[in-house]
């Protein structure tokens, strides 16, 4: 389990934690390192941690790790990639997790649409309304935008904090292109001093 998580990029690891937010206590999940997250999964999902991890890996676009580590449903992932219409073989890999007494029934495979989509402008304006006056701090410290660009946005939208915040988010969206998703923005803001409602809103956009 730890080997799987260590194979993820930092962005993918943060997305994985984002997808777990309704399943694990946020106070433990958000600051968790990779070894700590492994312990949490094994404690909360005894006998099912590997299967849950396999499902989440496929949601974040890493089915290669499901096959590489022979996680449960690995055969199903291979069959789907080859367009095999036959049913999946018996799941393997249970022995990699200590104390796995039996193989639980397979979880439903997520549809292709489960891959995070790009945020819309309507969603960005909703986020902007909740960021408040700290939008510049967010832009510099969390989104990697230049102070000069934020000053220009403020000058172009005087006396309108919401529009200033919206234009900042749109600037970030244009730079990130198809990677401007709710999980990515959530990961950027997870440790920032923002209203918790912002993170809740991003989570709702992902349908979790």
What are the average pLDDT values for consecutive 10-residue runs of the chain, which has 208 residues?
Answer: 84 85 82 88 86 85 84 54 43 38 42 69 89 85 88 89 91 88 87 83 74
CA angle 201–4–111, rounded 5-degree value: 50
Q: Which of 97, 16, 11 is nearest to 51 (CA)?
A: 97
Determine the straight-line distance between the first and last CA of the chain, rounded to whole angstroms. 23
Instruction: Assign 3-state DSSP to the chain and report helix, strand, coil percentages, each to 5.
Output: 60, 0, 35
186, two tokens: 């959530």
> What's the confidence (pLDDT) of residue 8?
87
Q: Is the distance from CB of 77 to CB of 133 less than 8 angstroms?
A: no
Encoded tokens for 97: 């997790």
Look up residue 11 and give its two tokens. 């962005």
Reported pTM: 0.46
> So what's the pLDDT on residue 137?
85
């Amino acid at each position: 389990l730890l080997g799987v998580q260590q194979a993820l990029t930092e962005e993918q690891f943060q997305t994985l934690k984002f997808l777990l937010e309704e399943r694990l206590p946020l106070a433990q999940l958000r600051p968790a390192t990779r070894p700590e997250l492994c312990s949490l999964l094994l404690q909360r999902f005894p006998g099912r941690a590997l299967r849950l991890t396999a499902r989440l890996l496929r949601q974040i676009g890493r089915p290669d790790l499901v096959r590489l580590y022979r996680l449960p449903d690995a055969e199903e992932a291979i069959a789907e990639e080859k367009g095999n219409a036959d049913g999946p073989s018996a799941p393997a890999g249970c022995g990699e997790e200590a104390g796995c007494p039996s193989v639980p029934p397979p979880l439903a495979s997520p549809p292709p649409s489960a891959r995070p989509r790009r945020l819309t402008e309507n969603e960005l304006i909703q986020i902007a309304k909740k960021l408040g006056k700290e939008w510049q701090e967010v832009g510099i410290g969390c989104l990697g935008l230049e102070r000069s660009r934020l000053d220009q946005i403020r000058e172009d939208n005087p006396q309108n904090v919401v529009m200033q915040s919206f234009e900042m988010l749109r600037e970030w969206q244009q730079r990130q292109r198809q990677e401007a998703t709710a999980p990515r923005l959530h990961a950027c803001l997870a440790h920032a001093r923002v209203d918790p409602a912002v993170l809740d809103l991003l989570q709702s956009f992902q349908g979790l």
